[in-house]
Amino acid sequence: SNEELPSTDIITLTRHVLAQQFQLGAIATGDLTLLLTAIQTTSKFIATNVRKARLINLVGLAGNSNVQGEEQKKLDVLSNDIMVNSLRASGKTAVLVSEELEEAVIIEDKFKGKYCVVFDPLDGSSNIDAGVNIGTIFGVYQIAPGSKGTISDVLRPGSEMVAAGYTMYGSSCNLVLSTGNGVNGYTLDTALGEFILTHPDIKIPSRGKIYSFNEGNSMYFHKPVVNYLNSIKYPTTGKLPYSARYIGSMVADVHRTLLYGGIFGYPDDKKSKSGKLRLLYEAFPMAYLTEQAGGVASTGHGRILDVVPTNIHQRCPVFLGSRDDVNDLIRFYEEYEKEV
């Protein structure tokens, strides 16, 4: 019969990454692929727990113990524990930085590998009760040649990352990843327990029609941001105004920006002098993905990926998205800096 035969050529994340590593020639030892497999496993665990937590919250169980009566760990703590344990057990990591941990984790020699992973295990978790999409954000450095794996291996510009990605937990579980050769999106097939390639070679449109800022901070915004926003809300050149979309969960706002185009911004302002988003495990990975998808990611004063971190939890202003839109914003900073 002519009904659609199931595709026998499904491309799993692991197969796709391996194929890309082989394209890089013999240097690929498979270590990065194994590390990414560990990251995939954590994403599946977290997806399950996020879904379960929604169910448990929905049935409105009393207090904060779950059906087994165990102490209900906060989801972001649980997600952090899953990631630290899985990444350590992979034997491929040397240094871990988590939004949940004040200090970096230096992996003991027995389990030590050559990669450093910086991550926010469950970004936007304050939104979970509202059913808003939340996610895991991660970036990967290879330890510097000759280094044993210390904090200095992660206090490096995002341009030195070898991979970055996020997993978004929503109606489906989407993992978006780059290992330096473009950006690909995978969707978790829960029946197979595999991430399947669904968005090959994501390219962000050169210009969009959406701006994504928390305008509740408008009274604190610096002049260049005010002037830029006015230019797209009250266009004088006969163009249509941009549409406002702000979810308040970085993974969801960035995912929409990568697919639809436009600009996402969390500026520094009079209230937050370096903005709110963290440099290592929010700004760097999202800037890496944005550039790999053909977009621009700026602090307003320079390329996000060129920033040299001095503290693993420092914050950074973020403007990222379509090339033409972010360049428009940068021009307002350049004009302002000429005036002062």
| Min separation Cβ 127 and ligand P6P, Å | 7
Residues of this chain that bind ligand P6P (CB under 6 A): 123-124, 126, 214, 248-250, 253, 266, 276
| Min separation Cβ 276 and ligand P6P, Å | 6
CA distance 286 to 292: 10
* Selection from 204, 195, 178, 196 nearest residue 297 by Cα: 204
CA distance 20 to 181: 8
Neighbours of 329 (CB within 10 A): 24
The answer for 135, left when phi > 0, alpha when psi is -120 to 50, beta otherwise, is: beta
- Between 124 and 149, name the residue whose CB sits nearer to ligand P6P: 124
Q: Residue 249 class from Cβ within 10 Å (0-12 exposed, 13-18 middle, 19+ buried)?
A: buried
- Between 27 and 130, name the residue whose CB sits nearer to ligand P6P: 130
| Min separation Cβ 85 and ligand P6P, Å | 24
- Between 282 and 325, name the residue whose CB sits nearer to ligand P6P: 282
| Min separation Cβ 184 and ligand P6P, Å | 22
The residues near 226 (Cβ < 8 Å, ≥ 6 apart) are: 218
| Min separation Cβ 211 and ligand P6P, Å | 14
- Between 13 and 251, name the residue whose CB sits nearer to ligand P6P: 251
- Between 120 and 325, name the residue whose CB sits nearer to ligand P6P: 120
| Min separation Cβ 149 and ligand P6P, Å | 28
- Between 35 and 286, name the residue whose CB sits nearer to ligand P6P: 286
- Between 163 and 168, name the residue whose CB sits nearer to ligand P6P: 168
Report in angstroms the alpha-carbon separations of 165 from 39, 120, 225: 10, 11, 28
The residues near 224 (Cβ < 8 Å, ≥ 6 apart) are: 300, 329, 332, 333, 335, 336
| Min separation Cβ 242 and ligand P6P, Å | 18
The residues near 230 (Cβ < 8 Å, ≥ 6 apart) are: none
* E runs forming strands in the chain: 93-98, 105-106, 112-123, 134-142, 161-169, 173-178, 184-189, 194-199, 210-212, 243-244, 263-266, 296-298, 318-321
| Min separation Cβ 266 and ligand P6P, Å | 6
| Min separation Cβ 135 and ligand P6P, Å | 8
- Between 123 and 291, name the residue whose CB sits nearer to ligand P6P: 123
Length of the chain: 340
* Selection from 95, 106, 91 nearest residue 29 by Cα: 91
Q: Residue 159 class from Cβ within 10 Å (0-12 exposed, 13-18 middle, 19+ buried)?
A: middle
- Between 248 and 294, name the residue whose CB sits nearer to ligand P6P: 248
CA distance 65 to 257: 37
